Chains A and B, each alone.
Chain A
Amino acid sequence: MDFWIVQIFNGVSYGAIVFLLAMGLSLIFGVMQVINVTHGTYFLVGAYVGLTVLRQTGSFPLAILVAGVAIAIMGIIIERLFLRRLQGNDLGQVLITMGFVLLLQDAILMIWGPDPERMDAPALLTGTGHFGGFAFPVYRLFLIIFAAVVAVLLWIFENKTKLGAAVRAAVDDTEMAGGMGVNVQLVFSVVFGLGAFLAGMSGVLAAPWLGLQSGLDFEILPYAFVVVIVGGMGSLNGAVLASLLVGILDNLGKILFPEFAYFTLFLPMAIILAVKPEGLFGRKL
């Protein structure tokens, strides 16, 4: 019993990070039909930006905020200048976002160098908590709570605000939404900015746990993709549920079936794809 509780806790905390990253990807995909391959690299650049801010100011909350905003700005610029021209050109968008991956990876090399780095969480959040006989890292609990708060905020945004309603309409049917007077171009920029913001922020949040190094972007990107595919593009509920599943399954897979660890993750995904290609909560294809 002990074993399962610890595993699930670990899985959920990993799922928390994946959720933050995947939610942005899912929104971008759901609304704009863009496969933003750069998303993982937004995560990584965000982590590095956060690292610099933390080193200069010593403030962890500031690092998170600045990283999120910086990546959001970068994302909106890329969206406006490049992705907008390629609307409808799926392959083109994929290729161009891949191009930006390489540019950003090189930028990281040039600005921060090739060394892996580490980031320390604020003292308040480090240490081990104890609950009912279990020891767990406080930071991971923080991640779960943070992600839950973000999920709630997003829910409020989507369901209780006008802009959120516009986003939901655009996810459901972009053309119709445009016809009904929704400023689709504005929604696009907001969504992309929001997605990038989430990515950058999650990079900083993950850094005390995962460290910073080149290659991390492509390590975590497949997880985000799986969440988006399984949960359904553009769906908040889907992202939450899928992130939990992904975190837990990945964890268990690594322990119970090390030789097939990735398989235990991707196989359920393939099965869901075969049975329900639009994902658990996605709109019909």
Chain B
Amino acid sequence: MSTEFVRKWGIGFTIALGVFLFVVYPMIGDEFTVIILTQCVIWGILASSLNLMLGYTGLASLGHAAYFGSGAYAAAIMSVHYQSTFLEALAVSLLVSVIVTAVFALVALRATGVYFLMITFALAMLVWGLAYRWDSMTGGENGIAGITRPDFLTNTLTFHYFALLIGVGVFLFFISLVRSSFGKTLVGIRESESRMQTLGYNVWLHKYIIYLISGFFSGLAGFLWVFYNSYVAPTDVELLTSFNALLMVSLGGPGTLIGPVLGSAIFVFLDNTVNMYTERSLTVIGIVYITVVLFAPKGVVGLIRQLIEAKMKKTEGLGEEEGKNISEA
């Protein structure tokens, strides 16, 4: 049993599971499950974007709701206030999130570590404050309702596959990004910024670019969210949203590609089912937060890898001993 074999088998299994869950099941399952699965896809995009910064570059952002929210509100405002088309809304949405990211990143990247967390949090509060109080634009507390999908997307199933298509596209792009030399540099920066600096890499530029990419795709997730829910409100941009995004990445497995997707799926499922069985949903999610940090710092993916490695060590260890006995005999 070689590592290669296990790895290929693991990937194959995951892909098969993913295809079954997101492609096959929607056709046979009920509408509500499809709605939940679409939610997983959208949050998966957000979590994966955050992961590019958190998992691969070592930049923990506590304010990703800002870029998600900018994209979401821009789309909603375009669609409802300006009666724009779907594509127009998309274009503006992405543009706005990139601009917001570009400006925020300039400020945030002046700090690292804990300070970076604080500053990203503070910047997200700016967006939240606008969403909450700039009534004439954002509807304030009321949010913006009545966002309608274009005709070809009104069907729940069709929208699901639409979102899925985008999600898969984003995922493939992330794979190639991570595997490229640019991606490898990011990992190097995560491991040791100073070393990369001495090696002659423009560390700041790399961070800035990945921040932009991350913000861009977070905005895309926001865009999808608005058309998924037909509604956007300041609660979508609040602190808790940024926290949940972080949890999804950490829960799934930071620094892996499948991690955030898994994490968001788990989170969405938990979020929607816990209150079917108990009123103590706060406690349950709280325990998840604590457990992840204490026992699964590399997320569920990390756990699975640990378990597999441990198992393989056992079988290999056994093989060695037998070999010794045989050779001694």
Interface residues of A (CB under 8 A from B): 29, 33-35, 37, 82, 85-86, 89-92, 94-96, 98-103, 105-106, 109-110, 218, 221-222, 225-226, 228-229, 258-263, 265-267, 269-270, 273-274, 277-278, 285
Contacts and interface: CB of A to CB of B under 8 A. Distances in A.
Interface of B: 54, 60, 62, 106-107, 110-115, 117-119, 121-123, 125-126, 128-130, 132-136, 238-240, 243, 246-247, 250, 280, 282-283, 285-290, 292-294, 297
Contact of A273 (B62, B119, B247): B119
B32 to A, nearest CB: 26
A14 B123 CA distance: 23
B130 A35 contact: no
Nearest to B119: A273
Contact of B285 (A96, A102, A267, A273): A102
26 contacts: A33-B113, A35-B117, A35-B118, A86-B293, A90-B60, A92-B293, A98-B243, A98-B247, A99-B293, A100-B286, A101-B286, A102-B282, A102-B289, A103-B282, A106-B282, A106-B286, A218-B240, A259-B133, A262-B126, A266-B126, A266-B129, A269-B122, A270-B107, A270-B122, A277-B119, A285-B115
Contacts of A85: 294
Given A82-B290, A103-B286, A105-B282, A95 B126 contact: no
Given A106-B280, A259-B135, A100 B290 contact: yes
Contacts of B121: 225
B195 to A, nearest CB: 18
Nearest to A86: B293
Nearest to B110: A277
Which of A37, A218, A270 has the largest count of B CB atoms less than 10 A from its CB?
Answer: A270
Nearest to B108: A273
Given A95-B246, A95-B293, 12 more contacts: A37-B243, A90-B113, A96-B290, A99-B286, A99-B289, A100-B290, A221-B239, A229-B122, A259-B133, A262-B130, A266-B129, A273-B119
Contact of B294 (A82, A229, A274): A82
Given A259-B136, A262-B130, A265-B129, A94 B286 contact: no
B175 to A, nearest CB: 24
Contacts of A95: 243, 246-247, 250, 289, 292-293
Which of A105, A106, A226, A258 has the largest count of B CB atoms less than 10 A from its CB?
Answer: A106
Contact of B239 (A92, A106, A218): A218
Contacts of B294: 82, 85, 96
Contact of A29 (B62, B114, B287): B114
A270 B107 CA distance: 8
B117 A90 contact: yes
A99 B115 CA distance: 21
Contacts of B239: 218, 221-222
A103 B287 contact: yes
B133 A262 contact: yes
A225 B292 CA distance: 25
Contacts of A285: 110-112, 115
A26 to B, nearest CB: 11
